Structure 1
Amino acid sequence: MNRAERRWLLVFTLIVFLVTLIPYGLGFANQDENRVFTGFFIGVEDGNSYLAKMMRGWMGDWLFRSPYSSADQAGLPALLPYVWLGKLTTPTNQHTQFLILFQALRLVGIGIAVWGTYRFASVFFKELYLRHWVVGLSLLGGGLGWLLALIGQGDLLGSLPLDYISPEAFGFLSVYSLPHLAAARGLLLFGLAAYLRTPQESGSLDRDGLRAGLGWLALSLLQPLTVVVGGLVVALHLCVTGVLAWRGVEGFGWPRWRGALRCALWLGLPPLPVMLWTVLAFARDPYAQAWTAQNILTTPHPLHYLLGFAILLPFVALGLRPLWSADRWRAALVFGWLAVVPLLIYIPIPVQRRLAEGVFAVLAVAALAAFQARPSWKPALLSPAFLTTLFLLLGGTFTTSGPSGTPVFRSAAEVRAFEAFRDFIPPDSVVLASYDTSNALPAWLPVRVVTGHGPESLGGREFRNVAERLMLGRMDPDDIEPFLIEQHIDYIFWKPLATPTGAWDPADASYLQSVATSGKYVLYAVNP
């Protein structure tokens, strides 16, 4: 990679980061005395949970322990960048520090995604403009999901358009708000690029393989399931090419196969200890098992994938033959990956959608091969793929520049209460609040809650309903104290809702003591 290529990667990364930073900047600019920007406008619930993980890191954790449950947790090797970044913060204006670190991580994630995708594209194309298009489509491309929304079919077959819910199938959602997934894709593609290189191209298969393996070691700490996807792709390719080499098919020889196997070993060995640790940790930790069962990412109807990939698919069909003619060995990986994805995404596991990771980059390579074979064709024909990104950018801009309320913005009075109560709540205390408040609370205070995040809060909707009934004063008073004791709750963050006359009032409960007040918000301690 020469200086001009590195300059392009840097400039493209900065442009993507700065353009996607606009909605965030508008959110901060539109704060006022009545509302505070949470720092997120898409996937706000998950965004708050990332900041809460940073808070746990500041509290001393090195492994992931969810603050959205009072259950005992051994700690898991998951989502570790967020946990570790929290150690760089101090209590003063800590929430703002978290948001700055999140944006820094987003910049790094975009950079890794751009770099890894470019390395992958360079294996297939010598033409720089084709590499650039692969990177652009992989990070910013989409399908026809916007059209479904436009014609009033936004819930077609029981699912939102794939472009708006699947960061695995498309790159932009990761670029926009999920930096760990953006970085994970870049590391995945970087490893596969090293695997596909010949000894003549790499100079040293062992050196390149080790570098890629260290990249996959980092990947195992970011998103372990992506290592599984990469491993399946490599294993499938080795099996297919081994059979073809055994049968003497042109383009498939044993020397190249043995070199690929050696590189595959370099790829797989560094992340192996972390992957084994992850499997054992999830198998032994009851909390991890419950979290996994609640983390449902079901694959939608196949029609959504056809619509999501519709812009690229005609060109993919035209590009497969020239891709095969150019280099059968590398084309076999593309063919195998595209063939197995429809099977992977319907494997009966809770996180089905995650197994589509990286597929859009492969589709982009196959589509651009059609243009390589037909030099008179212009890749601008693929420009409609960027409409989804345009609409998501406009949607984010309108959301943060308009009169949005919760969850994008929070009441300034509530945030003042968060800050005021921090001095009264010992770190790691368990606080009961409404679901909405519980989602934000651990991002501002070093506490745990029993609800607030769909997958991470054990008890799911049951605990959410209990919290809402309590806040509305509709819970049977005789059931409240046993529930508080059972869930090890130390404090109640009382935010009066529309309570009916004669409803339960915490001020009348003998087992509760008011310890702090901020406006209409009251902090009650649960007496032992």
Structure 2
Amino acid sequence: MTNDQFKIQNSKFNIQNLNDRRWAMGWAVAMLALSCVPYLVAVWLAPDGWHFAGIIVNPLDGHSYLAKMRQGFDGAWRFHLPYTPEPHQGVFIYPHYLALGHLARLTGLPLVWMFHLARLAAGLALLMAAYRFILRLAPDRQTRRLAFILLLTASGLGWLGVLFGAFPIDLWIPEAFVPYSLLTNPHFPLGMALMLVILGKIGGMGDWKVGRLGDWGVGLTALGLAVVLPFGLLTVWAVLAVWLGWQTWSRRQIPLSQLRQVALTVLFGGPVIGYDYWVSVSNPAMAAWSAQNITPAPPPVDVLLGYGPLGLAALLGGWHVVRQKNRTAAEWLVVWWAVVTLGLVYLPFNLQRRLITGLHIPLVILAAVGLTRGLHGHRYQRAAIRGVVGLSALGTLAVWTLPLLGLLSPPTPASLSALFFLRQDERQALEWLDSRTGPEDVVLASPRLGIFVPEYTGARTFYGHPFETIDARNRQAQATAFFRGEIETVTPVPDFIIYGPSERALGKAKGLARHRKIFEIGETAIYEVTK
């Protein structure tokens, strides 16, 4: 081949890559735009006198992220538990949410707007990082485009499993699926994007540069991942350890350059992981939180149904990679990523489920390989592709629609939809309290309203979260008993009491007359506690 012929061929390759990137960008933007539709529908479904609170996926955790942002909005760089009344020392965790709060203050944007802008930006970063990863891995257009379409749309058979009494993971573990993560929060997609950068760089997937920093860039990426999603870095380390061990054994050669890159990820990310662990055992408040924060692995049948046809296609793809003679190190990396992650999920410790983050990515790549290469020339190949894509997309449609079904019921204090909406008078009462409280003040409200107190007022709540309230069961029982009139005070004594429809629905509180009513609007009143 002459030099001119090489230049022409290289130019054609670059043009094709550019066209592919534009194609991927178009689909990514379209998917992110669609992820906003359920939120717009929720705004439209808000009943008269109610206000959509901004979160539709797991509102307990979603509003806890907004509460963390509120601390940054108020100028904090150390995190305090916002849902517990005990004074405690702040720690340097969740800096990404604290930083978003600072950014909201500087830009004048509401916290919930900043949250969703960050969600969309992180989602775009994930999708483009994933396509770049796929582009380096799959040289043929059919495989990489199918992998990307599955990445955007594929979920499992959760909608079918529910009919048989199962609870498949595609209905309740967003971090296990890219489409669900795009709908949920900023840190799941951002964490997965950083995982891809590290694995792509160390996996030798072409010229994957991290700025102009060379190998130091992968260390800084690991630092970012340790901050945003610590368990994601643990997964990356485990995958790389097994993959590099396999490479050393199969090639009879130690990959020194890749070991150096892994060492840099440990150098930069290790101290953050170590600090997180130290805080979880040495800080009494954080230790109490960690003791309650148990996330066990789902039953294997729920995992199988959760990935459904996608998982079957991924098995075919993995089998094809293992059997082919000219398999690449990058293909082995994807296989080990899937296998190691599944193994990590069932390690015997309290936070198993968190290690499932990102599993969707190697599965969609292997599924695309199985459907395009594993079934190449098969008479049913086209039908298989259509079946997997169709059923998987139907699963995502069900997952994205499911939260909206909860919004259709009237938001009575006892209903699920009451976690998605705030009464107008409740919101106005919280906004009034905002200018009169600080982070040291404690507010007693119903367990439902307690979820919203920290993000709207900056104060702490007596009870508001099953994990982030210390001694959560006792605090919830005390709050409920107080508003039922079974007890006249709670311990520790709060600074303010909110008494509105949500609290009246629990019963008739006693002893409010001895406290000073300082605000009332509609059916909601605020009392300053006499101590």
Among 45, 50, 60, which residue is 1:45 paired with? 60
| CA distance in structure 1 between the partners assigned to 2:212 and 2:23 by the alignment | 28
Specify the alignment match of 1:127 in structure 2: 140
Tell me the number of residue pairs that the alignment of Structure 1 and Structure 2 aligns. 500
| CA distance in structure 2 between the partners assigned to 1:493 and 1:401 by the alignment | 27
| CA distance in structure 2 between the partners assigned to 1:464 and 1:402 by the alignment | 25
* 8 A contact 1:116–1:186 mirrored in 2: yes
Specify the alignment match of 1:469 in structure 2: 481
| CA distance in structure 1 between the partners assigned to 2:442 and 2:434 by the alignment | 13
- The Cα of 1:365 is off from its aligned counterpart by 1.8
* 8 A contact 2:104–2:111 mirrored in 1: yes
Specify the alignment match of 1:102 in structure 2: 115
Specify the alignment match of 1:347 in structure 2: 347
- Which secondary structure does the structure 1 equivalent of 2:309 belong to? coil
One-letter amino acid matched to 1:520: E
* 8 A contact 2:211–2:217 mirrored in 1: no
| CA distance in structure 2 between the partners assigned to 1:182 and 1:22 by the alignment | 18
| Residue 421 to residue 206, structure 1, CA distance change in 2 (3 Å) | closer
Specify the alignment match of 1:250 in structure 2: none
Specify the alignment match of 1:185 in structure 2: 192
Q: What runs of 5+ residues in structure 1 fail to find an aligned partner?
A: 247-252
> What TM-score, normalized to structure 2?
0.87
Q: Which moved more, 1:189-198 or 1:276-285?
A: 276-285
> What TM-score, normalized to structure 1?
0.87
| Residue 31 to residue 409, structure 1, CA distance change in 2 (3 Å) | same
- The Cα of 1:196 is off from its aligned counterpart by 1.1
| Residue 45 to residue 321, structure 1, CA distance change in 2 (3 Å) | closer
| CA distance in structure 2 between the partners assigned to 1:163 and 1:239 by the alignment | 32
| Identity level (%) | 25
* 8 A contact 1:430–1:491 mirrored in 2: yes
Specify the alignment match of 1:304 in structure 2: 302
One-letter amino acid matched to 1:363: L
- Which secondary structure does the structure 2 equivalent of 1:238 belong to? helix
| CA distance in structure 1 between the partners assigned to 2:26 and 2:158 by the alignment | 29
Describe how 1:104-503 pairs up with structure 2 within 5 A.
Answer: 104-149=117-162, 151-153=163-165, 156=166, 160-197=167-204, 201=207, 207-246=213-252, 253-254=253-254, 257-324=255-322, 325=324, 326-370=326-370, 371-376=372-377, 377-378=381-382, 379-383=385-389, 384-400=391-407, 403-404=410-411, 405-475=417-487, 477=488, 480=489, 483-484=490-491, 487=492, 489-495=494-500, 496-498=503-505
Q: Which moved more, 1:162-171 or 1:209-218?
A: 209-218
Q: 2:7 aligned with 1:4, yes or no?
A: no
Deviations 1:198-255 (A, max 9, x none): 6x75589995533333222211111111111111111121222222233xxxxxx44x
One-letter amino acid matched to 1:320: G
| CA distance in structure 1 between the partners assigned to 2:437 and 2:175 by the alignment | 39
| CA distance in structure 2 between the partners assigned to 1:490 and 1:268 by the alignment | 45
| CA distance in structure 1 between the partners assigned to 2:455 and 2:299 by the alignment | 35
- The Cα of 1:75 is off from its aligned counterpart by 2.8
Q: Which moved more, 1:401-410 or 1:353-362?
A: 401-410
* 8 A contact 2:176–2:359 mirrored in 1: yes
* 8 A contact 1:37–1:410 mirrored in 2: yes
| Residue 356 to residue 409, structure 1, CA distance change in 2 (3 Å) | same
One-letter amino acid matched to 1:441: V
| CA distance in structure 1 between the partners assigned to 2:433 and 2:148 by the alignment | 47
| CA distance in structure 2 between the partners assigned to 1:367 and 1:32 by the alignment | 43
- The Cα of 1:284 is off from its aligned counterpart by 1.7
